[in-house]
Amino acid sequence: MAPGLIDIDWEAPWLAPWRAVGEPLAATALAGASVADGLNQAAQAAGLACRFQPQTQAAGAAAYEQGIHEQGLVPTRDNLHDFFNGLCWLHWPLAKQQLNRLHVRELARPAPGPAPGRSLRGPVRDALTVFDENAALLQAPDPVWQALQERRWADLFGPLRPLWGEARLLLFGHALLEQLVRPYKAITAHVWRVPGECDFHPAALDAWLAADLTPTKLATKPFAPLPVLGVPGWWAANEQPGFYQDSWVFRPARQRPLEAGRGVVHGAGAAHDRHRAH
């Protein structure tokens, strides 16, 4: 039995899109099936090409990604992390395939300098990892997105709070979902914007995302950090006065000089720390 499955609260608002598939899968694993076996049953029933293979030994990044790319087999351990990874494969098959293709492409690039044959880990692979582990997709009115980018938390969750009723937020990262099994205030997603004209139906959104995940775009790391338990309606504590005044979690934007001498507002990249908004 995969440790932690019993702790999943399927009534949590962030799990609403996952519950119909995820809750029966968790029940199957809790009854004694391996995580891989349960995922394979669901994948076959949905007509998906991917399959899940029990993993007993650690695999390097290249072997892991290459195996998926060549055989369509996703190594899967009996743990919470891989349970959510498999659930993401069921929910986002096209986008997950695109992430895998790009990983394989980047891993094949030789590193420059004195270590020939070693793969180069550059901004694209970094962004691929951040997206796969910790991304969330947000479709929201322009004022909400602008305030999020600029880390204007008081505006985002104060005067703009009613506009969250027009926003749609879906989690993608499996590490993010794993962290939220035991929620705490500082858990922070890397948000990828979905344009307002994009169809938010799951299959259409998956197809759009697979096309939108390009090396050029990923290299710019166009993420905005969002402490997800600050989302209105997602956690009762954020209704309390002072919740958003915690500057350790809701950090202000930093200012960095441009080469031309002008100022520009930046938040920290946060790729190294998914638990805090920088």
* Model confidence pLDDT, tens digit, residues 73-82: 999 999 999 9
Average pLDDT estimate for 112-141: 82
Least confident segment among 33-37, 175-179, 205-209, 274-278: 274-278
Average pLDDT estimate for 65-88: 92
Q: What is the pLDDT of residue 217?
A: 97
188 - beta bridge partners? 227
Per the prediction, the chain carries an average pLDDT of 88
pLDDT digit string (tens) for 179-224?
A: 999 999 999 999 999 999 999 999 999 999 999 999 999 999 999 9
CA 77 – CA 106 distance, rounded (Å)? 25
- Cβ 123 vs Cβ 164: under 8 Å: no
Residue found by looking up tokens 């609260």 in the block? 9
Q: What is the pLDDT of residue 255?
A: 66
- Cβ 189 vs Cβ 226: under 8 Å: yes
At residue 2, does pLDDT exceed 90? no
Average pLDDT estimate for 260-270: 34
How far, CA to CA in Å, does 125 sit from each of 85, 105, 131, 209, 238? 18, 10, 10, 17, 34
At residue 67, does pLDDT exceed 90? no
Describe the strand order of the beta sheet including 188-193 as a list of residue ranges.
168-171, 135-139, 188-193, 224-227
Around Cβ 139, how many Cβ atoms within 10 Å?
A: 19
